[in-house]
Structure 1
Amino acid sequence: MTSGFEKLDERQRVLVAAWLPGAEVVRDLSWDLVGTTVLKVVHGGERYVVKAGDELDRQMARWWASLILVGLIYGLR
């Protein structure tokens, strides 16, 4: 991976490398107010947003819980 991923912890960098090998950071969209990192990346000609939180970031847990709930309600898998 190219630079720009230094805000992610080691576990998060490993996951991004596995899911989006060779991805390049285009822009850091993080606000640097809380422990959330938001990176706009390019991989295989497609654009993605990588969002990761630190151990104190409770917003990420609520966000994932809502996505899981929506998936269960609508039968998304």
Structure 2
Amino acid sequence: MNSMMEKMMSMMMKPEDMPEMMNMMMDKMFSEMSGEDRIQFMSTMMPKCMDMIFAELDDDSREKVARDFMGRMSDKMEDQL
């Protein structure tokens, strides 16, 4: 029984695998959407995701994350202009 549990645990995703797995999932999901669907998804989900992230942070951390995120988004948008 114990070896079965160990085998199951070893097959589960490890935290260090999460970013790669999330990227693969997002790539698959976005590749199946139209451009309009992607825009709608991002404009709907981004605020919800940010609200969940900010709810877990203290004021100082929230400001740091917001500034970092705004910098990244600003750089991306500026590249398009």
Normalised TM-score (structure 2) = 0.32
- Tell me which of the two structures has the higher relative contact order, counting C-alpha pairs closer than 8 angstroms and 6 or more residues apart: 1
More strand as a share of residues: 1
More helix as a share of residues: 2
Bigger radius of gyration among the two = 2
